[in-house]
Structure 1
Amino acid sequence: MTQAFSLDPSRTALVMIDLQHGIVGRPLAPHGGQQVVTHAKQLADAMRAKGAAIVWVRVLLNELHFPQADVSMRAPDAPPAPAEASELVPETGVQAGDLVVSKRQWGAFYGTDLELQLRRRGIDTIVLGGIATNFGVESTARAAYDRSFRLVFVEDATSSLAEDMHRFTFEKLFPYMGHVRSTQQVIDALG
């Protein structure tokens, strides 16, 4: 059963992961990239209006570390991504005053000033979404959980490379780390 909850916008940040040209257009499931972006913009607009912090995280694709692994995320002979691939899509509606964090790995905390920026603003709650559920979003969630942030996961503002990957994370992991809600439920919780 879903617990009732509310959000204090003055202590809350929306953190959206990798809504950028090189990622949003990929085949995603269960939600398409444009649907995720649309919901992210709705959340950002509503939360910004109530005084919450808005954070857009992007990965610098040409600086992303690809260690040796059984399955490579990138072909060894792949050409560099165009510069635009690492830029946030304009449909997010990034505004002056929003934070933009650039990362070089899956998670948004390691090697960035994200924690410092959140702590100096008195943030203790993160509303989290983006692409991909079980890569950048989950890595960021685990680091936030380890740092004792309260977490709210926005299911319809998050997607992955395959529906089963998304569903597993949202059904078997995120409910143990925080609250799983829809875009509308998060907006309603702002009061």
Structure 2
Amino acid sequence: MTAPIPPIIPSRTALLLMDFQPAVLAAVPDSENVLSRAQAGLAWARSHDVRVVYVRVAFAPEDFAAVPGRNKTFAAVAQHGFLADGSPETDLHDCLDVRDGDIVVRKTRIGAFSDATGLHESLQAQGIDTLVLAGLSTSGVVLTTLRHAADEDYRLYVLKDATADPDPEVHRVLIEKVFPQQAEIMDTDDLWTLGKAV
């Protein structure tokens, strides 16, 4: 028998929508469906006064210069000037509306909590101790952010249908076997069943 998903306290919760950008969406299968599920999660957050956090990857010229050649993930990105801040490929998808009061962070590494974002400090200042994660890719920003957030003692939920990976098998293994050790795994439709805050 599956244990019920513990409810949340909206005032202490943030929804993180991570790397929903054209350059990243292009790399995952069925990106339109994943984006639709992210929109559903956003609608839930808006209706429950849950803080919304947008995370995007983009590099300013000085960020490119700071990437060492030994960085296997980003050295080629820096060398070719890919994901330059201000380019269309790094914009948040236009179906995700950013409102006053939302947190928007720009990162130059994989995780949402990389030092330059200041995200952890911002969430702490607002009394947020619970995170709902959605993003692209499962083995990239979601995995890295989940691990870091768990080490910072956040309560964690992962929206499995608003998360995707270029490799569906990697997504499955992470969602079914790895993430449950540190997070509650759920569909976006299940958000509405979390019920009243406790």
Indicate whether 1:163 and 2:139 are aligned.
no
| Structure 2 contact 58–83 (Cα < 8 Å) conserved | no
TM-score with structure 2 length normalisation? 0.85
- 2:3 alignment partner in structure 1: 3
Aligned-residue offset at 1:59: 0.6
| Structure 2 contact 57–83 (Cα < 8 Å) conserved | no
- 1:25 alignment partner in structure 2: 26
Q: Distance in 2 between matches of 1:68 and 1:89?
A: 31
Indicate whether 1:130 and 2:132 are aligned.
no
- 1:107 alignment partner in structure 2: 111
Q: Distance in 2 between matches of 1:73 and 1:164?
A: 27
**SS of aligned partner of 1:122:** coil
Aligned-residue offset at 1:9: 0.9
Q: Give the direction of change, closer, same or farther, for the CA distance of 1:11–1:76 in structure 2 (3 Å limit).
A: closer
Q: Distance in 2 between matches of 1:100 and 1:81?
A: 17
RMSD of aligned alpha carbons: 2.2
| Structure 1 contact 41–91 (Cα < 8 Å) conserved | yes
Q: Distance in 2 between matches of 1:138 and 1:76?
A: 23
Indicate whether 1:85 and 2:89 are aligned.
yes
Q: Distance in 2 between matches of 1:33 and 1:96?
A: 27
Indicate whether 1:56 and 2:57 are aligned.
no
- 1:68 alignment partner in structure 2: 70
Any stretches of 5+ residues in structure 2 without a counterpart?
none
Q: Deviations over 1:36-58 (max 9, x none)?
A: 22111211121122111000100
Q: Distance in 2 between matches of 1:181 and 1:68?
A: 37
Q: Give the direction of change, closer, same or farther, for the CA distance of 1:168–1:119 in structure 2 (3 Å limit).
A: same
Aligned-residue offset at 1:136: 0.8
Q: Give the direction of change, closer, same or farther, for the CA distance of 1:190–1:18 in structure 2 (3 Å limit).
A: farther
- 1:116 alignment partner in structure 2: 121
Q: Distance in 2 between matches of 1:162 and 1:66?
A: 27
Structure 1 counterpart of 2:57, one-letter code: V
Q: Distance in 2 between matches of 1:103 and 1:76?
A: 14
State the identity %. 29
Aligned-residue offset at 1:68: 3.3
Aligned-residue offset at 1:70: 7.1
| Structure 1 contact 107–139 (Cα < 8 Å) conserved | yes
Structure 1 counterpart of 2:54, one-letter code: W
- 2:151 alignment partner in structure 1: 146
Q: Give the direction of change, closer, same or farther, for the CA distance of 1:172–1:87 in structure 2 (3 Å limit).
A: same
Q: For 1:169-184, what aligned pairs fall within 5 Å after superposition? A: 169-184=174-189
Q: Give the direction of change, closer, same or farther, for the CA distance of 1:150–1:78 in structure 2 (3 Å limit).
A: same
Q: Distance in 2 between matches of 1:136 and 1:159?
A: 11
| Structure 1 contact 41–93 (Cα < 8 Å) conserved | no
| Structure 2 contact 132–159 (Cα < 8 Å) conserved | yes
